[in-house]
Every structure is written in structure tokens, then in C-alpha cells.
Amino acid sequence: MRTYGNTDVRDRIEVAHRDGIWLTVEELPDDSPIEGNAMASGDDAVDRRAEQYVRDSLAAGNQWAWCTVRIAAEHIDSGVVGESFLGACSYDSEEDFMQVNGNAPDMIDEAVEQCKMTLHTHKREAR
């Protein structure tokens, strides 16, 4: 498993992917404030409850309650990496993040596309 220069990775999941590309999903600490970022419903009481839920979840050990997510798509043969980041995330778990109707599918597509574009550029430049 590669480490991409970040020693603060708290959770890393590796899964095989199509076209010789490995996907790595990393949950990283997020230092943006929970207050004002967890929810912007327009109702202060609702927003405070959401913020407290995030704080309580973090205190209970759920690192996914407030984090940055990095998805890396690495071409196995060349080592070319495409990335996608999303900060100020709040999920109940890694499984919650990976749901089909969540952000994960779009982030995976973005990282894979970036990897393929970079790989294509490198191949063109090598000619």
C-alpha cells in the first residue's frame, strides 16, 4: 500500500478497479469548523442540533463524523495518480460514505478520469 505523503490518514480502504487502476479511499482529519459548516438549514436550532450530533459522533469515536475524504486512482503499471478531495464531510461510517446515492461514485469517477487524462498526456509527450 502506498502512502501519499499524508501521515494523518486515519482510515484507508483499497479496492481494485477497472482498467488496471487501483482505488484508495482515505478518511483524513478536517480542521474546518463544525459550526456553520455541518448544516445550513436556515433554522439555527436545527443547525445547532446537527453540529452537536457531529461533535457527539466524533467523541464516540466515529472519525467519519467530520473529515476530509481523498480518493486516489492509481494506474498500476505507471504509478500515475488521479485524485478527488471533499472536505467538511459528515458520515455515519465508511459504508455510509460509499453509498451509491452519495458522493463516492462521483468522486471515484473524477479521480479515475483525472488518472486516465494524465496517463494519456504522458503517453502523448513520450512520442
Does residue 79 lie within any of the structural domains? yes
Does residue 120 lie within any of the structural domains? yes
pLDDT digit string, tens, across residues 28-86 = 999 999 999 999 999 999 999 999 999 999 999 999 999 999 999 999 899 999 999 99
Three cell numbers written together for 13: 480502504
Does residue 37 lie within any of the structural domains? yes
pLDDT at position 9 is 60
What's the rounded Cα separation, in Å, for the pair 119 and 47?
43
Does residue 93 lie within any of the structural domains? yes
Range of 27's domain?
A: 11-126
Does residue 4 lie within any of the structural domains? no
Q: 71 - beta bridge partners?
A: 25, 84
Instruction: Report the Cα 120 to chain-centroid distance in Å.
Output: 24
- CA dihedral in degrees (46, 50, 55, 60; nearest 10)? 120
Q: What pTM does this model have?
A: 0.82
* 16 CB-near residues (< 8 Å, 6+ apart): 22, 23
What's the rounded Cα separation, in Å, for the pair 62 and 115?
30
Domains held by the chain: number: 1
What's the rounded Cα separation, in Å, for the pair 45 and 4?
40
Does residue 6 lie within any of the structural domains? no
Does residue 3 lie within any of the structural domains? no
3-state secondary structure of 113: helix
